[in-house]
A and B are shown apart, each in its own frame.
Chain A
Amino acid sequence: MNDDLVIIITAGLTATACGLLGPFLVLRRAALLSDAVSHAVLPGIVATWLLLHTRAPFAVIVGGAIFAVLCVLAIDGLRSTGLVRSDAAIGLVFPLLFALGVLGVTRYASGIHLDLDSTIYGEIAFAPFDVWTIGGVDVARSIVVIGSIAALNLAFVILAWKELKASTFDPGFSQTIGLRPQMLSRLMLVAVAITAVTAFESVGAILVVTLLIVPGATAYLLTDRLAVMVALAVGIGWIGAVAGYWGAVVGDSSIAGTMGLVCAVCFALALLVSPKYGLIATAVRRRRRARATATALAAER
């Protein structure tokens, strides 16, 4: 397979996996969980190295995933005491895990080359060089791994669609009809954690964080329907993947960074020109209303 195509497909599949979950994070006011997870995996990497002395992708993913899940569950636990709001809970837990990771690195692993860039914070540009041979065909590892995560997320979102929808918009109602929203929200957080960790390893942390938040937020500006929102989020992610790769090649720049910037541009555009919630539409509506009021007043006089 052509190298360019591998990178674009890898990024697109990441966009799919993230776009399926991102809207729910945005709607549940937990968008920053993705960033929290991206920092919380550090102690997992250090622990994997200390226990197994390996930096093999699989072991690192498992180690990182354990701490990522720990992180989201700890946040959920803190929040469910009702004493700490969701954002503060996030901000308490992930720096702690990050700090533990830094302490682990300085205490036990300073001699070896164990830094974030080379282990879990992967670089998407290297995706084509890591190839698996499946049934005589060479396939990039990242495509297989992220493709299966995307498929799992798709299955999760489709199977739990009604439940997710109910518990996102009205947790009280979904509790009443026996859906156990807390259980479901934990399940979703675990899905986010696993998606993030797996994708970090292939495409880098910042791209995953961006793809989990920005397309979801952009779609939120464009529509009021959940299904449309999820589809839009995936689509915007793909736009970011394709246009970002093209921009990076033209400008000889960081691929992940440019993809992130393209997503940011999409967000800015939606903020400006969204037909219902955009700044322009709101301004026009306000002006029209002011004029209508003015004419009505004039007519009365």
Chain B
Amino acid sequence: MGWLIDLLPLSYTDAVVVIGAAILGLTSGVLGSFAVLRERSLVGDAIAHAALPGVCIAFLLTGAKDAGSLIVGAAFAGIAAAVLMVAIERTSRIRPDAAIGVVLSCFFSLGIVLLTYISSQNNANQAGLEKYLFGQAAGLLERDLVVMAALAGASLLFVAIGFRILKVALFDADFAGSLGLPVRVLDVAMTVLLVVAVVIGVRMVGAILMVAMLISPVVAARQLTHRLRTLLPLAGVIGAGIGIAGALLATGSELPTGPVVVVVGFCVALAAVLLSPGRGALWRARHVAAERRRAAFEGVLLEVETAMHAGPPPTVAELRLATGRPRAQLTRTLRRLERAGLLRRDGAEHRLRLTEAGAAAAHELEQRRDLWAAWLEHGASLELPDAREPDPRDVRASLGDDVADRLQELAT
């Protein structure tokens, strides 16, 4: 690790924290995927709370507040909690969230009882055991980094080797079982991996905030890909990025690392949820608005045409009465039609009249709609060699000219 620390243009302690945050982000992104995709995102929460009785028992057994033994205690309690949770979920009708909640409150209650027992023992050494739940990144040592890196490397290697098996067990446990895979063992193995991630993170960001570290990279990555093969590395990279950015921000502004990393992670996840191309909430909202505008544009064009056929060119008020469109929408759409050169206003009464281009556009639109209607009515009798479903807006382009011509013949 020494060379890596020397490589970074940071002070020794800052470099240790940044590297630690990167390792943590990478691991929690990859391992968290298995929890988030199974709707068990909050397993981390149960493991985090289980750390309290684990720490207490480790302290009772060793009688000392040695960081190593406490972390082992926390890890064992975390594994116990995780196994119990999986068992409750598998054997009863309790769903994952309630199973996590039950395990969480049992373990934490036990932890509090143990804590009162310890403090009644008058052991001066016991103060601050519960502070273990909130991390302390500044106290990170190079030795911790080596341990973190070893644990991270081992668990990532496990995921890489067992990728195909884990994937089947993740998405279709019944199918995996019918293939003869040890589904229960895999289930427990995936949860144990999560415990590893939480244990890695406990020193860095604290147990409670670890919950978010397992989730935010995965949520962000999930918005960008549909494939597990890309999701895992992507979540790892995003997690590492979150860790590095958060650690740098925190050391720069002298704030505790854990909370800053979590805030950065939330911002990244939120940005992905809002902005991801083709899927994000804002992107979708924009898409819907554009579709609405297009529908209004075409609708009003045809309505003006119909009105012109029925009588004298309509005024805006007449058109509004005939179509029942809201005033604002109509004004906006008419203005856009004018700007596109499809419409002009004539005379003192500002009667609406389609230009030549407008009439052509309306004609073409009508033809397209007729073609779609024809497809709906006669599409089945065409007996196309493949099961194509044309784009309703442009049947001709999606089916090809000869099919469209045949459709037109059938319709007339």
Contacts and interface: CB of A to CB of B under 8 A. Distances in A.
Interface of A: 26, 29-32, 34-35, 39, 78, 81, 83-88, 90-96, 98-100, 102-103, 106-107, 206, 209-210, 213-214, 216-217, 220-221, 252-254, 256-261, 263-264, 267, 271, 277, 279, 282
B1 interface: no
Contacts of A254: 112-113, 115-116
B260 A103 contact: yes
Interface residues of B, number: 59
A257 B116 contact: yes
B134 to A, nearest CB: 7
A216 B91 CA distance: 18
Interface of A is mostly: helix
Given A31-B97, A32-B101, A254-B115, A92 B266 contact: yes
B212 A213 contact: no
Contacts of A35: 42, 45, 101, 104
B212 A264 contact: no
Given A83-B281, A217-B102, A88 B215 contact: yes
Contact of B105 (A93, A98, A263, A282): A263
A209 B120 contact: no
A214 B266 CA distance: 29
Given A99-B263, A260-B109, 10 more contacts: A39-B208, A81-B281, A86-B97, A87-B42, A87-B97, A98-B262, A217-B101, A271-B91, A279-B91, A282-B91
A256 B109 contact: yes
Nearest to B209: A95
B262 A83 contact: no
A91 B211 CA distance: 6
A246 B97 CA distance: 30
B109 A99 contact: no
Contact of B45 (A78, A91, A256, A259): A91
A119 to B, nearest CB: 16
Contacts of A99: 209, 212, 258-260, 262-263, 266
B330 interface: no
Contacts, number: 187
Interface of B: 36, 39-42, 44-45, 88, 91-102, 104-106, 108-113, 115-117, 120, 134, 208-209, 211-212, 214-216, 218-219, 222-223, 255-256, 258-260, 262-263, 266, 269-270, 273, 279-281
A289 B279 CA distance: 49
Contacts of A210: 105-106, 108-109
Contacts of B214: 91
A89 to B, nearest CB: 9
A47 to B, nearest CB: 15
B134 A102 contact: yes
Contacts of B223: 83
Given A99-B263, A253-B113, A256-B109, A85 B212 contact: no
